[in-house]
Structures are given as C-alpha cells and as structure tokens.
Amino acid sequence: IVAAAVLKPKHLFAVDSVQSRLDQAAKLGAEPLNFMESRDEMIERVKSVTDGRGADIVVEVVGLSPALRTAFDLVRSFGAISSIGVHNAEIPWSGSDAYNKNVRLQMGRCPVRSIFSEAMEVLKQEQDSLSFLFDNILPLSDAVRGYELFNESKVQKVVFQV
C-alpha cells in the first residue's frame, strides 16, 4: 500500500477480511474494503469511482485462488493483475475469460535486486508509517508463539531476533 501510495493513484483500495489489517490500510491511505461483508458491494464501489470500468491495476498478495479470482473481478478490461502471492492452485478463470477481458497477468517473485535501492528510498521516506511492521520483535526461542500469533491474525508481522 505504501509503495502504491507513493505513486499517488487517484484511488487506492485495500481488500481484506481482517479488520486490523483494514484499519492499518486506512492509516496508510487506502480505502478499506471487506470482501466478507459484501463481495458485490466491494466490486460496485471500485466501479463507482472508475466510471464503471474497474481497477486499472490489481496487486494480489495472498496466493490463494479466491484472492486471484477477486483480482480478476476487480480489474478492468485491458487492465493488469500482478500476483506476488505464492500460488498452489489453478488459475480461477478460463482462457477465454482472460482473452475476452484482455487482462495482463504477471506472476512471480519480486525482482529484489533491480528495485532494492528504490524500495530503500521509499522505506526511508515512509519509515514512520511502517513502524507497525516492526512492533513484534521476539527472540528466536519464541518462534512457535510468533507463528501462532501470526496465524491467528493477532499481529501483522513478527521479527525474530537471533
């Protein structure tokens, strides 16, 4: 969200079902949309601010087939989906669906080496707004507890100290 906000898009949405993450997204400048409350209203909200087209770009970070399907439903025709979640399922639409919508799909890992210096600049500029990422520092001996907290959506991130 921070990386997208730096580019100053006209509209920036964050889609999730975990309220604490939606609250954090709002603090970072995105309009939160809870897909568990109403999928249809979520899609209509995006279309309402894009003259009925849908989002130009959707970044999918979950790695689950339903999240990728949501990205497809939110993106406009001739739009782009960038999926950086690690997927283990099939693509949740047909080839003809993608062809008819003319969607660009990019999947895979972030090219860390090529964007590292740019990412570090964003981190420097936005470090105060990103401090929440580093508020759960645990010793490595508490790794099990850290993973449990994360799995229960009680924390955003856990940093293990060695």
Helices (H), the chain: 2-6, 19-27, 39-48, 65-74, 95-101, 112-126, 143-151
pLDDT digits (tens, 9 = 90+) for 71-80: 999 999 999 9
Whole-prediction pTM value?
A: 0.84
Cα distance between residue 86 and residue 62, in whole Å: 7
What is the C-alpha to C-alpha distance for residues 18 and 64, in angstroms, rounded to an integer? Answer: 16
Residue 111: per-residue pLDDT:
87
| Cβ-based neighbour number of residue 26 at 10 Å | 13
* Domains, the chain, ordered by start: 2-129 (3.40.50.720), 132-162 (no CATH)
